[in-house]
Amino acid sequence: MTVTITDLTGLPRTLLFTLRARAEEHGRSAPIISDPLAAEWHGRIPPTPMEVYTAVFQLGTAVRAHLYDQIARQFIHARPRSLIVELGAGLSTRFDRLNDYPTNDYQTIELDLPPAIAFRRQFDAETDRHTFLPASMTDPGWPAQLPAIPPEDILFIAEGVLFFLPPDEIARLFTLLRRHFPGATVAFDVLTNRFSPKARAAFAATDTPMQWFVENEADLAQYGLAVQESRVVTHLFPKRWAALGFDVARLKVGKGNVVATARIDR
């Protein structure tokens, strides 16, 4: 199955935006993350219009990737034989970024819709420790395809994707995780009702509306999630936000994009 850039529409197309953001971050003199593989892959993609791509999006994506890298490293440190499952993985290069970690016992599975996985195969190859799973994250069949390991050793990462799903699909996903992986850890970013109306309108205009919002982290308990830690993307790297014209003091008291780490309860 050959997938071209023009075949990527709606949500799968956002993988181009996040890849570009990480590649451009890598090219900075003092990058938040180092991502040479993202830079290489981005260099192989022909120029394409990205209507929603802005300097704010680029910085937010880089900060978010940095947070998830921290979460993954901490998890691997505590559970060297762990499994990391990236939900809606797109062109994630996290496996490569974590490849300097002292242990090589952990595994990573990249799960995404079939067109996204087909596009990924043009850049990346599977190995014993790094495999791809073409499926919708709400498909009830994919959990059976994961290795049989204790849920406590599994970290699910949903980076920059869940807020594009309607609330009923969010409920279906967390019900699925609760049924099959009680005790596992899930890390994901959630948008609060205070998230930028301008950004919402821009994504809606490109057939990728943001659909899931919460009032605050307490709303996550209804999905059977016990939040262990949460961090706000715009609270980190204040000098970089200030360089884009933001009032850092105002950012510090606001919560728009929150990265949460939670335990999946029964």
Average pLDDT, stretch 50-78?
95
Which residues neighbour 212 within 8 Å (Cβ) at sequence distance 6 or greater? 162, 163, 164, 165, 166, 167, 170, 190, 191
The predicted pLDDT at position 266 comes to 75
pTM of the model: 0.95
pLDDT band at 71 (very low <50, low <70, confident <90, very high): very high
pLDDT given for residue 103 in this prediction: 62
Proportion of the chain in helix, strand, coil states, percent, rounded to 5? 45, 20, 40
pLDDT, tens digit (0-9, with 9 covering 90-100), for 136-177: 999 999 999 999 999 999 999 999 999 999 999 999 999 999
Which residues in 63-91 are b (16+ Cβ under 10 Å) and which e?
Answer: bbbbbbbebbeebbeebeebbbbbbbbbb
**For residue 104, pLDDT beyond 80:** no
CB 207 within 8 A of CB 10: yes
Quick one: pLDDT band at residue 1, thresholds 50, 70, 90?
A: low
For residues 192 and 256, is the Cβ–Cβ distance under 8 A? yes
Confidence of residue 6 (pLDDT cuts 50, 70, 90): low
pLDDT for the residue numbered 49: 79
Tell me which residue of 223, 144, 208, 221 sits closest to 178, measured CA to CA: 223
Q: Is 3's pLDDT higher than 70?
A: no
Backbone angles phi, psi at 220, to 5 degrees: -75, -15
Q: Which among 1-5, 191-195, 200-204, 260-264 has the top mean pLDDT?
A: 260-264
The whole-number pLDDT of residue 48 equals: 82
Cβ of 123: how many Cβ atoms within 10 Å?
15
Class of domain 5-264: alpha beta
- Taking only the tens place, the pLDDT of each residue in 212-265 is 999 988 899 999 999 999 999 999 999 999 999 999 999 998 888 999 999 999
- 101 vs 4, residue with greater confidence: 4
pLDDT at 46: 87
Distance CA 212, CA 192 (A): 9
Supply the pLDDT for residue 101: 61
Higher-pLDDT residue of 33 and 103 is 33
For the chain, percent of residues with pLDDT exceeding 90: 80
Q: What separation in angstroms does the CA of 179 have from each of 74, 143, 144, 161, 210? A: 25, 10, 12, 21, 26
Mean of pLDDT over the chain: 93
Whether residue 7 is predicted with pLDDT greater than 80 in this model: the reply is no
Grade residue 2 by pLDDT with cuts at 50, 70 and 90: low
